[in-house]
Structure 1
Amino acid sequence: MTRTATCLLATAAAAAIALPAHASAATLVASLAGANETHEGDASGTGVFTADADVDSGDLCYTLAAEIEGEPMAAHIHKGAAGTDGAPVVTLEITGPEDDICMAVEPDVLKPILASPADYYVNVHSAAYPKGAVRGQLEKGG
């Protein structure tokens, strides 16, 4: 092997090691409960959120089910760490436990969610609990 080829191989190997890992897709999960709300939530309410998110395609495919007092009025992914409230960044639909839905989400919205899911939460609102009946922090799933 020539000296030039050896140098090129070494440079390519070093560059490959130096490149940061870019995860463009991930599974996100959240267990929702009324006790997780920062205000009075539905004490007996529960829910589950599971999603596959892909930054490159902008796809968010998810299942969202909630057992809460009254009819669900709205659901969102909000920016906010545990114990804090934040603005909604994605509006969701309640799918029920057996169905899922896919929607387009701007990659600039998905990137920070995938980078730091614990800084975001899912909650479901009802007429009885307009600020949120149940809530759960996002985390990466397996």
Structure 2
Amino acid sequence: MKKRMALPLVSILAVTGFAGSVFAAHEGQEFMAELTPEQETAEVESDATGDASIMFSEDGMSLEFTVNAEGLTNALAGHLHSGAPGENGPVEIALFNNEEATDYDGEVASGTLSEADLAGEMSWEDFTKAMVAGDIYVNLHTEQYPDGELRGQVEMAEEGDEMPTTASNGPLYTMIGVLMALMGGLLLVGRNQKKAA
């Protein structure tokens, strides 16, 4: 009886470890966003463009960001919102807030953010999971377009970009190993049950 219980226990521990690896997938990972007027949900007529880069720390408890823009005039604020492409969502973190409207042709803002900077209802864990899932976007607000003139969905950097490879490949290999362990465990349990019968 004890031997039969051991395999399901191993499977449970494996699944628990896999869940942890999914959450850890953002650690040391780089994310990027291309900012364009076309990604706004409302119609925007602007020639401005921009980009954003986000790099999580190795322990995953903070991130460094840089936002750039060209031809952006009368900018008021920039935020990280939660929401899927084509959908509006609440502000989760403020990237910058200007006391006066400002024009940009280059770096707009940069800095380090952590859980203390969260402005919404998300926990840091929820926020990082949403970013890995592609449900966080950058939105730059201006006087002319207070709801947003430039927007870009945050996505995990591709292999061609400079970024650590361990974080992106690790969860895939872990998942394959876990699935193989689960399949093997289930087969052994089935055989033992047949023998016992």
Aligned length: 133
1:76 matched residue in structure 2: 79
Offset at 1:50?
0.1
Query: Is the Cα contact below 8 Å between 2:80 and 2:137 reproduced in 1?
Result: yes
Higher Rg of the two aligned structures: 2
The equivalent of 2:115 in structure 1 is 105
Aligned residue for 1:84, secondary structure, equals: coil
In the alignment, structure 2 segments of 5+ residues that lack a partner are: 1-9, 98-103, 117-123, 159-197
Change in Cα spacing, 1:51 to 1:72, as seen in structure 2 (3 Å) is same
Structure 1 SS opposite 2:52: strand
CA 1:132 to 1:43, structure 2 compared with 1: closer, same or farther past 3 Å? same
Report deviation, 1:93.
Answer: 2.5
Give 1:100 shift: 3.4
Question: Over residues 18-44 of structure 1, what are the superposed CA-to-partner deviations in whole Å (9 max), with x where a residue is unaligned?
Answer: 521232412110000001100022431
Secondary structure of the 2:107 match is coil
Task: Work out whether 1:29 is the aligned partner of 2:39.
Answer: no
TM-superposed CA distance for 1:60, in Å, is: 1.5
Is the Cα–Cα contact under 8 Å of residues 131 and 154 in structure 2 kept in the other structure?
A: no
**Per-residue deviation, 1:98:** 8.9
Question: Letter of the aligned partner of 1:23 in structure 2?
Answer: A
Separation of aligned partners in 1, 2:138 and 2:86:
13
Change over 3 Å in CA distance of 1:109–1:16 after alignment to 2: closer
Q: How far apart are the structure 2 equivalents of 1:32 and 1:137? A: 8
**What's the TM-score once normalised by structure 2's chain length?**
0.56
- Alpha-carbon spacing, 1:58–1:120, altered in 2? closer, same or farther (3 Å): same
Amino acid at match of 1:80: G
Asked if 1:43 corresponds to 2:46, the answer is: yes
Counterpart CA distance in 2 for 1:58 and 1:88 is 19
Matches within 5 A, 1:45-64: 45-54=48-57, 56=59, 58-64=61-67
Contact 1:34/1:133, CA 8 A, preserved across alignment? yes
* Contiguous gaps of at least 5 residues in structure 1: 1-12
> Is this contact kept in 1: 2:50–2:70, CA < 8 A?
yes
Match of 1:9 in 2: none
Aligned Cα RMSD in Å?
3.2
TM-score between both structures, scaled by the size of structure 1: 0.75
Q: In structure 2, how many angstroms separate the alpha carbons of the residues matched to 1:89 and 1:98?
A: 19
- Once the two structures are TM-superposed, the CA of residue 132 in structure 1 deviates from its matched residue by 0.2
Answering whether residue 94 of structure 2 is matched by residue 88 of structure 1, we say no
Q: Deviations over 1:24-70 (max 9, x none)?
A: 41211000000110002243121110011248452120100122442
Matching residue's letter, 1:103: L
